[in-house]
Amino acid sequence: MSQSNRARVAELLAGLAAGDRTAISEALNLVDDRRPEQREAALELLDELAVRAASPGPSTRQGSHSPYRVGITGAPGAGKSSLLNAMVEQLRESAGGIGIIAVDPSSQRSGGALLGDRMRLSGGARESGVFLRSMAARDRLGGLADATQAGAAVLSSVFEWVFIETVGIGQSECEVAQLVDTLIFVAQPGAGDTLQFMKAGILELPDLFVVNKSDTGPVAERTRSELEATLGLAGSVDDAAWQPPVLLASAQDRQGITGLIEGINAHRAHGRQSGQFEERRRIGRINFAVESLTRRYGEYGIERIGGAQAVSQRLRAPSQRSIFAAVLALGHEIEEAITGR
Ligand SMILES: Nc1nc2c(ncn2[C@@H]2O[C@H](COP(=O)(O)OP(=O)(O)OP(=O)(O)O)[C@@H](O)[C@H]2O)c(=O)[nH]1
Ligand SMILES: [Mg+2]
């Protein structure tokens, strides 16, 4: 690595350790940069962050750092940003800070301004409590997962809470599900929604459901019980398994926000006690790598190095390196196998 890259990475690492707002911004820009020279520096940075995350040890921070990632998904306009904003109001009182990635907020007003205005405070990001980064989903052609995964790694190095807001039903849910420790689905009050969820086959993914806009009347409660009934039918017979609760909230009236945070904490506690938390992170990283390679090289490429199963197996082995470096190394292997070098 070049001298200047090395210095840059060292500087960013120091800045991140100090919770410096400019360093966080620059690190997020760097990991999103496709130019080769920047790629090299980004990988180095992500590698170093992975090493530090794996062995927290004595850090510059007080107490232990155990970042938790929460995904918020749901249809456009369901109130994801509003609920997030309401949760942040409560959570920011607790130490550790909150990092947020909002993927393509279609309503800039709420996605950006709602949180952004209040966050553009002076001082370090950790002191002011909140840091928001918006990412555009368009023009990415599948690279969105890479960007959010890397962005989450950067924010996790600084903040105790990392939230990722994504719009949509389907693909984006699967991607965000494996990136977070808890996935929240925000539903709109309204008949027919439940059927739509079932059709889309997404009911298995979220760990928590919340029907927002309960202030609009009894429809919200009806949607809640419908959703609960549907989930009950598909419910697991395993007593130890987590049963996703269906909550009711109004971001507007600040109703049900505490319950939502309690729900996240309950899922977190369940994950720790059952050991599912670590395993889920492991599987998430592996799936991310396999999908990332498949996007780039196709099934054919993966087959050249033994197939998805074999690749997953190799990725299970403990490693000091970040998942991004592993993807790069496996990519080189595939390229060599294909070109026969
Ligand atoms: N009545 C009512 N309106 C709400 C509530 N929460 C959000 N809204 C409104 O719903 C609209 C969408 O809210 P957002 O928070 O931007 O929803 P979102 O899911 O983040 O939207 P996108 O990011 O664009 O997909 C806004 O006009 C909000 O004011 C609520 O609890 N009650
Ligand atoms: Mg939004």
Pairwise CA distance, residues 293 & 150, whole Å: 15
Question: At 300, is the pLDDT very low, low, confident or very high (cuts 50, 70, 90)?
Answer: very high
- Strand segments (E) across the chain: 68-74, 98-103, 130-135, 161-167, 182-187, 208-211, 246-248
274 lines ligand 1 (CB under 6 A): no
- Residue 184 main-chain phi, psi, to 5 deg: -105, 135
- Between the CA of 336 and the centroid of ligand 1 the distance, in Å, is 49
Count CB-CB contacts under 10 A for residue 258: 13
Among candidate residues 82, 269, 80, the one with its CA nearest the CA of residue 181: 269
Pairwise CA distance, residues 47 & 338, whole Å: 27
Question: At 290, is the pLDDT very low, low, confident or very high (cuts 50, 70, 90)?
Answer: very high
Q: Cβ distance 164 to 71 under 8 Å? A: yes
Pairwise pLDDT comparison (51 vs 306), residue with the higher score: 306
Say what the pTM is.
0.89
Query: 82, 84, 252: which to mutate for ligand 1, most atoms within 8 A of CB?
Result: 82
108 lines ligand 1 (CB under 6 A): no
105 lines ligand 1 (CB under 6 A): yes
Residue 291: what pLDDT?
Answer: 87
CATH number belonging to the domain at 68-274, selected among 3.40.50.10190, 3.40.50.300, 3.20.20.450, 3.20.20.80 = 3.40.50.300
Pairwise CA distance, residues 203 & 228, whole Å: 11
Q: Cβ distance 296 to 331 under 8 Å? A: yes
Q: Is the pLDDT reported for residue 125 higher than 70?
A: no
- Between the CA of 25 and the centroid of ligand 1 the distance, in Å, is 27
Q: What tens digit of pLDDT does each residue of 129-149 get?
A: 889 988 876 555 556 677 888
- Between the CA of 75 and the centroid of ligand 2 the distance, in Å, is 10
Q: Per-domain residue ranges for the chain?
A: 68-274, 275-341
Ligand closest to Cα of 111 equals 2
168 lines ligand 1 (CB under 6 A): no
Ligand 1 atom closest to the Cα of residue 253 is: 31
Ligand 1 atom closest to the Cα of residue 250 is: 31
Q: Is the pLDDT reported for residue 200 higher than 70?
A: no
Query: 73, 88, 110, 176: which to mutate for ligand 1, most atoms within 8 A of CB?
Result: 110
Task: Collapse the DSSP code of 333 into the 3-class scheme (helix H, G, I; strand E, B; otherwise coil) and give the result.
Answer: helix
Ligand 1 atom closest to the Cα of residue 104 is: 23
Q: Is the pLDDT reported for residue 61 higher than 60?
A: no
